Amino acid sequence: MSIIVAQHLSKSYPVAVKEPGLKGTIDHFFRRKYREINAVQDISFEIDQGEVVGFLGANGAGKTTTLKMLAGLIHPSKGKIRVGGRTPFERQEKFLRQITLVMGQKQQLLWDLPALDSLRINAAVYELSAKEFKRRVGELSEMLSLEEKLTQPVRKLSLGERMKAELLAALLHRPQVLFLDEPTLGLDINAQVGVRDFLREYNRRYRATVLLTSHYMADITALCERVLLIHEGELMYDGSLDGLLERFAPYREVYIELERDVPEEKLKSYGDLKKVEGRLACYAIEQDDLTRAVGRILTDLEVVDLTVTEPPVEEVIGRVFQGGIMSV
């Protein structure tokens, strides 16, 4: 059952255009001109309850704009949205109780007060009883390993602890739909792993739906089986993470270890040689040519070891963002 439905969703903004100089300033004051910026262009997708979906795209691709439309913060220029059977921008109470939006660069906790005080405010907003508040805080703080930190002023928490506390505050009302915009932004490796583990457990325990944007590909590969790829406001791909590699990376990486040194010029004759380090070499070889190329390497060279792998997903996404393979 689809809990999120977006149909032909678009968002454009009028932006004032001003010519340089005094004349441009006067014209801008009396006869202001505008041009349209298309942040999101005619995208459609559906997400089922309980899915964890990665939302990928370069800076300015339209990810945050889409999340804000889904969360009801901004009105779409065109198209329809339904989240949990409701229209987000109508901001109905039942809708607001069902969703949460977490942005890694924003905070809702009061800086100089203990996180627990801010949580009490959230509990009052969502009309949680004292007993239910205590139970939920205990459960979530245990999942996040925050039991001893909630009585400290927020400013004394580490960045990782602060992000976990922000997640606790955002999930205190137990939403069924999570819109997460860069939730691990700026965190160290250990803190990133802790947030990922928590989100995985929250999804498993409450069957919550998660739409996640992140520039850390480890977040996507650890949590998401399905990804949406947006580029310059247009939805370029909707499918499995493995399918993304198949579509946008029609090659494999072949690593070989040689018995003895071989001139680099000779190694180049077997395929696209990416790097050579002593007796180790790495090739990028088209899938259609993989069997033939590997056969030639094994026949002509003294190979100690050979490994065929898929390219790193972050490299594939990087190539997509650069526009090098958008036509594939």
Q: Could you say which of 3.30.70, 1.10.3470, 2.60.40, 1.20.120 is the CATH number of the domain covering 250-309?
A: 3.30.70
pLDDT < 50 positions in the chain: 324-328
Q: Identify the pLDDT of residue 323.
A: 57
Q: Tell me the one-letter amino acid at 123.
A: A
User: Yes or no: is domain 2-245 CATH 3.40.50.300?
Assistant: yes
Would you tell me how many other CB atoms lie within 10 Å of the CB of residue 52? 23
Answer yes or no: are the C-beta atoms of 52 and 210 closer than 8 Å.
Answer: yes
The greatest distance separating any two alpha carbons of the chain, rounded to the nearest whole angstrom, comes to 77
Q: What is the pLDDT of residue 242?
A: 82
The encoded tokens of residue 318 equal 């990087």
Q: Where are the alpha helices (DSSP H) in the chain?
A: 21-30, 63-70, 93-98, 115-125, 130-144, 159-171, 189-206, 217-223, 241-248, 264-267, 290-300, 313-321
- Cα 125 to its chain centre, rounded Å, is 29
What value does the CA radius of gyration of the chain take, rounded to a whole number of Å?
A: 25
Amino acid 325: pLDDT: 47
What distance in Å separates the CA atoms of residue 96 and residue 84, rounded to the nearest whole number? Answer: 10
- The pLDDT of residue 321: 67
Domain with CATH 3.40.50.300 in the chain: 2-245
SS3 (DSSP) at 109:
coil
Query: Residues of CATH 3.30.70 domain(s) within the chain?
Result: 250-309
pTM: 0.80
Q: By the 8 A CB rule, do 92 and 71 touch?
A: no
Q: Say what the pLDDT of residue 267 is.
A: 92
CA dist 168 → 17, 26, 172, 217, 303 (Å): 43, 51, 6, 23, 53
pLDDT for the residue numbered 327 = 40
Q: How far is CA 193 from CA 5, 69, 100, 246, in A?
A: 30, 29, 21, 27
What pLDDT was estimated at residue 215? Answer: 80
CA trace torsion 161, 165, 171, 177 (10° rounding): -50
Helix (H, G, I), strand (E, B) or coil at 212: strand
The first and second tokens of residue 189, run together, are 């490796």
- Tokens 């339209």 -> residue: 62
Quote the tokens at residue 125.
């907003």
Residue 241 dihedral angles phi and psi, to the nearest 5°: -65, -40
